[in-house]
Amino acid sequence: MLNTLEKVQKEAEKDWQAVAFEGYSILLRVLSPIAPHVTQVMWQSLKLGADILTAKWPEPANAALVQDEVEYVVQVNGKLRGSISIPKSMAKEQIEATAVNQDFVQKFLNEGSVKKIIVVPNKLINIVVA
C-alpha cells in the first residue's frame, strides 16, 4: 500500500491527494490496534474524525481480489526453467501450447521431442522431453 501511495504521488496523477488521503486513512485504521496512541494523533491531525477507535474497519473491494491471470511455474524434465502468466480462462491445450512456445523452453526442445506435458491447474507446467 505504501508503495502505491508513493507511486501515485511521484507520477502526479490527477487527484493524487484524494488517493493519498484515502490510503493514509486506511493505513491508520489498520495500524490502530498495534499503535493506538500514534495513530490517534495522526488521525486527528488529518482531521478524519474524533476517535480512530470508532472508525469503521476498511472493507476490501471484491473485484480487486479476483485474479484474471495465473502465474505458472514451467519445468522441463522436472527442473525449473521459468514462469509464465496465463489468463485463468485458458483451456489446458492452449496452456500447453503457450508453455512449449516459450523461448526458455524451446532451447531444451532442440535436444529431443516433447514426450508428455503435465499441467497442475493454476500452479505448474512440467514438460517431459525425450
Residue of 76, 81, 85 whose CA lies nearest to 113: 76
Co-location of 89 and 117 in the same domain: yes
pTM of this structure: 0.58
Which pLDDT does position 12 carry in this prediction? 66
Co-location of 73 and 59 in the same domain: no
Co-location of 78 and 91 in the same domain: yes
Q: How many domains does the chain have?
A: 2
Residue 111 grid coordinates = 535436444
Co-location of 50 and 82 in the same domain: no
Co-location of 75 and 93 in the same domain: yes
d(CA 84, CA 81) in angstroms, rounded, equals: 10
Contact indicator for 56, 106 with CB cutoff of 8 Å: no
> Once rounded to an integer, what is the mean pLDDT over residues 65-86?
92
CATH code of the domain in which 117 resides: 3.10.20.590
pLDDT over 80 at 6, yes or no: no
Structural domain range at position 98: 69-129
> pLDDT digit string (tens) for 12-41?
666 777 878 888 899 999 999 999 999 999
